[in-house]
Amino acid sequence: MALRQALGRGLHLGRALVLRFTAKPGAAYAWGRPGPAAGWGRGELPGRAAVLGAQARGLGLRLPDRYRFFRQSVAGLAARLQRQFVARARGGRCFLAFGLGLGLIEEKQAESRRAASACRDIQAIFTQKSKPVPDPLDTRRWQGFQLEDYLIGQSLGKGCSAAVYEATVAALPQHLEKTEGTRPLPGSGPDVISQGEEEQTPGTPAFPLAIKMMWNISAGSSSEAIFRKMSQELVPASRVALAGEYGAVAYRKSRGGPKQLAPHPNIIRVFRAFTSSVPLLPGALTDYPDVLPPHLHPEGLGHGRTLFLVMKNYPCTLRQYLRVSTPSPRLATVMLLQLLEGVAHLVQQGIAHRDLKSDNILVELDAGGCPWLVISDFGCCLADESVGLQLPFPSWYVDRGGNGSLMAPEVSTAHPGPRAVIDYSKADAWAVGTIAYEIFGLANPFYGQGGAHLESRSYREAQLPALPESVPPDVRQLVRSLLQREASKRPSARVAANVLHLSLWGEDILGLKHLKLDEMIGWLLQQSAAALLADRLTEKSFVETKLKMLFLANLECEALCQAALLLCAWRAAL
């Protein structure tokens, strides 16, 4: 039906154009004036004039004036008719083809408009459905803006700039008081193969909170200086996190504060941020004596006051989880998809993490033991309103981010200059491609030493190790695409996430030989109905249902079409 309509529109437009340009001929040739003898030659006059002309030439006679007039008039009329015939024949076909092409283009554009409109409608519905449930900690009903409000337990770990401790408060919100004290251990889910008991990661402790104490060596002791120096850590802070002691005043955008990240289920939230005097916490004298203030350790270099961040306590990091668990290929694909969703949200907000690694990714297990991944530790992020993801690089003193081993090639090979700029729009997606090796059970090729070790500055795509054969072909191809040296050849995080969404749940639509937008929209409507039904049937949505809702909440027609074309091209090449 669509083709018939396009043909009808094209024929109608073509006919209109032909009539427009050929219905009004040039000036008429009057019988009283001789016309040009074009088209037919003088010896090729039709009818009686040609006979008379031949006889006259044969006898050497000169025709009377009235016969010459008749001959010239007929020749002019013939030339005129011939020109109009050629114009109608050639021009008609040209305009008819042109009109038909316009009709087909118009129909294609109408299909694209329908698809874009449907995507916007679906996105509007699921944007509301996918909003994170407000955490009871993210409220003003309890204070928690002083270190004395917390009971601090054992150390959860330390990095290059902070130490993290488990914590709780004397009067938790009612919701947290009912929280169960245990969760499934890593390795207990249906899609996970346990690797033994010698290094089991503990489940959720009795402390539901985690406090991150920053090490303050150069920020001074005033709250204003501390907030300004450590402002990157506050990018994922909630709206009320800074409503305490000082932050609400010091963190106004007019004072040059960085961007505030909108909440996302795959990104950590900071519930409270405040400054306080540095205490002597368990393990401090052993784990980080050099950064303590002199009154706690004589050789310490730290200041007496620093920044504290309060977050949710997660059972383990991704690195810890993978040490004791081997997820199935499908579950590993779902985990990779979660990282891409988180990175796509960061890019959409104009933020680059710049320090993605398995130690900075936290894992929470649902009731069935399925892992939910959360990106944390924003201390090295780029979140500057004035530059976005395009960082000016005038000198080597500009900070390019952390973890040089997982630094994207366009960042690690950048050279400073007066107009040099580093584009971070696809740098985090490249880092996710390296972490994919760990998720699928292999060593990260950009870590370690030896012949298998690769460097982002100099590696070639052919040197990348192959993923296991058990990994789906679409995922193997996507990981190689994410690790392309040239950022222009690399898919964005949003397109890469859409590739995995289609690969996981769009087999029916991808099986068609000729994929059309209207068929894609029909599939999206089916997925929308299924996601809404699954969300209603379960008290707490399963991981795959949550991911489907995130996919539909971030639906963009152009990015979805790019993902579908990539998948079709990869499958055709197999």
The residues annotated with a catalytic role in the active site are 355
What is the C-alpha to C-alpha distance for residues 45 and 556, in angstroms, rounded to an integer? 69
User: Alpha helix (H) ranges present in 87-157?
Assistant: 92-129
Cα–Cα distance measured from residue 318 to residue 439, given in angstroms and rounded to the nearest whole number = 9
Maximum distance among all Cα pairs of the chain, rounded to whole angstroms? 135
Task: Please give the span between the terminal C-alpha atoms of the chain, in angstroms, as a whole number.
Answer: 34
**How far, in Å, CA of 525 to CA of 522, rounded?**
5
Q: Whole-angstrom Cα distance, residue 341 to residue 494?
A: 7
- Are the beta carbons of 307 and 275 closer than 8 angstroms? yes
The 10 Å Cβ neighbour count of residue 513 is 5
For 96, 386, 400, 418, 567, the CA distances from 394, given in Å and listed in that order, are 58, 16, 12, 5, 39
Parallel/antiparallel/unpaired status of strands 162-169 and 316-317: unpaired
Q: State which amino acid sits at residue 287.
A: D
Residue with tokens 């290059």: 160
Fill in the DSSP letter of residue 246. S
Residue carrying structure tokens 């005129």:
80
Beta strands in 416-538 (DSSP E): 421-423
**C-alpha radius of gyration, the chain, whole number:** 36
Do residues 318 and 363 make contact, with C-beta atoms less than 8 angstroms apart?
Answer: yes
DSSP for 390-417, please give it: EEE--STTS---S-GGG--HHHHT----
Residue 546, CA atoms < 13 Å, CB-side half-sphere: 22
The span from the CA of 80 to the CA of 525, in Å, is: 61
The whole-angstrom separation of Cα 417 and Cα 374 is 36
Region of 28 please: left (phi>0), alpha (psi -120 to 50) or beta. beta
Kindly give the pairing relationship between strand 162-169 and strand 390-392: unpaired
Cα 338 to chain centroid distance, Å, stands at 12
Task: For the chain, give the number of residues.
Answer: 574
Location of structure tokens 């337990």? 153
Helix axes 92-129, 2-22, angle to 10 degrees: 140
209-214 and 150-158 beta bridge pairing: unpaired
